[in-house]
Homo-oligomer: A and B are copies of this chain.
Amino acid sequence: MPRKSTSSERPAAGGLPKSDGVSLKQLAAHLNLSTTTLSLVLNDAPTAVSIPQETKDRIFSAARELNYKPNYLARSLRVQRTHTLGVIVPELSDGYSSMVLNGVEAVLSKQGYFYLTASHLHREDLLVELPRMLGERQVEGVIAVDTPIRSEPNLPTVNVSGHEDVAGVTNVILNHQHAAELGVGHLYNLGHRRVAVIKGQEFSSDSNVRLETISDAARKRDMPIDPKLTVQLQGDSPSPEVGYSAMKTLLATGEKFTAVFAFNDISAIGAIRALEEMGLRVPADVSVLGFDDIYAAAFHNPALTTIRQPLFEMGSLAARTLLERLAEGKDAKIPEVLSVEPTLIVRNSTARVTSDK
């Protein structure tokens, strides 16, 4: 627990610091001009051609001197555009969301957009409240990440890793079928036939598709996934802990397997820990395949073989798509699904199956 220790306090400064500039009206009064003229000039409106350069210069320099700062609220109210989006994530600290956010931000900041972030923490009430609150704050659209959207939203919405088919929302998703092919194919080619699968938590939108596509890919190769070899992650901690527990559960069943396809890298790391505690070596005894390719994957020991999911790109694609739709206005086309390709990254947590198993 942090101990809060106020070591010293600043003197007179006061709660509201430094004078904060003037309003347009004050600036106009100071110049003996109307706010109209100032607005025209400062926004470089077409009408402003008739204003002589000299006047313009006077305006610009006064604005600078008096530290004029346009009030974005007032402007937004008038022009009915806020250049602000809402972003809804499950939770910030899970690594997944922040990678996506990174991509979102890269494109938004380039376009002069800002965004309000809100976490729903898997709470039903927040899932309906947050969009409303963001709406009241006049965001122009919403980017959701791994968030269930069950009814048509009031605002243009793009959902990253969303699987519901809802009018008005574009889902940006990984090509899961391809991902499963890559993963299962990799394990199959290494000789694995009994493959365990760690399924994601119920609340993760990818959990079901992931398992289904893996099952399909396995069936296609005549090595159907044994239901006794699937475990589901429990609890919503973003730590490897959940993967560790899941693997413990699986090991307790006594079922044999030579490989594990984990829901993500975090759980793969936890699973490896559990395997090693049982005296099983990775990859000598059991191969472990991760998913996502987070930063730590390459540097784990053993380095994780994993299916890379381009999270940054998914975020930036979501942002681009939403901005495009906003730009097109009323009659924008709304793609239902945009899909993005995974990559197999082979490292050291998977190996050819050994004969003695």
A: which residues have CB within 8 A of B? 1-10, 13-18, 20, 69-74, 76-77, 82, 84, 91-93, 95, 97-99, 101-102, 105, 109, 114-119, 132-133, 135-138, 152-156, 167-168, 238-241, 244, 266, 269-270, 272-273, 276, 295-296, 298-302, 310, 312-314, 317, 325-326, 328-341
Q: Are A15 and B296 in contact (CB under 8 A)?
A: no
* A72 touches which of B3, B138, B153, B238 (Cβ 8 Å): B138
**28 contacts across the A-B interface (CB closer than 8 A):** A2-B310, A2-B313, A2-B314, A4-B317, A4-B339, A6-B338, A7-B336, A13-B167, A14-B331, A15-B328, A20-B135, A69-B132, A69-B135, A70-B136, A71-B136, A73-B73, A73-B82, A93-B98, A102-B119, A114-B116, A115-B117, A239-B299, A241-B299, A266-B295, A269-B296, A272-B299, A273-B299, A300-B300
Q: How far is the CB of A29 from chain B (nearest CB, A)?
A: 20
A4 and B295 in contact (CB under 8 A), knowing A92-B102, A105-B92, A114-B116? no
Q: How far is the CB of A342 from chain B (nearest CB, A)?
A: 9
A3 and B341 in contact (CB under 8 A), knowing A116-B116, A137-B114? yes
Q: How far is the CB of A302 from chain B (nearest CB, A)?
A: 8
Q: How far is the CB of A288 from chain B (nearest CB, A)?
A: 12
* A95 touches which of B9, B18, B95, B326 (Cβ 8 Å): B95
Q: How far is the CB of A82 from chain B (nearest CB, A)?
A: 7
Q: Which residue of the partner chain B has the closest CB to A269?
A: B299
Q: How far is the CB of A166 from chain B (nearest CB, A)?
A: 10
Question: What is the count of identical protomers in the complex?
Answer: 2
Give Cα A296–Cα B301 distance, bound, in whole angstroms: 12
Point out the residues of chain B lying under 8 angstroms from A244, CB to CB: 299
Q: Are A2 and B340 in contact (CB under 8 A)?
A: yes
Contacts A239-B298, A241-B299, A266-B296 aside, 10 further interface pairs with beta carbons under 8 A come to A1-B310, A9-B334, A10-B168, A10-B336, A13-B168, A15-B331, A18-B153, A84-B137, A93-B102, A102-B119
Q: Are B314 and A299 in contact (CB under 8 A)?
A: no
* A14 touches which of B119, B270, B332 (Cβ 8 Å): B332
Q: Are B313 and A10 in contact (CB under 8 A)?
A: no
Closest 8 CB pairs of A and B: A15-B332, A2-B340, A240-B299, A301-B301, A17-B168, A98-B98, A2-B313, A239-B295
Q: How far is the CB of A298 from chain B (nearest CB, A)?
A: 7
Q: Which residue of the partner chain B has the closest CB to A101?
A: B92
Point out the residues of chain B lying under 8 angstroms from A77, CB to CB: 71, 73-74, 77
Q: How far is the CB of A23 from chain B (nearest CB, A)?
A: 12
Q: How far is the CB of A122 from chain B (nearest CB, A)?
A: 14
Q: How far is the CB of A69 from chain B (nearest CB, A)?
A: 5
Q: How far is the CB of A301 from chain B (nearest CB, A)?
A: 4
Q: How far is the CB of A258 from chain B (nearest CB, A)?
A: 20
Give Cα A185–Cα B325 distance, bound, in whole angstroms: 58
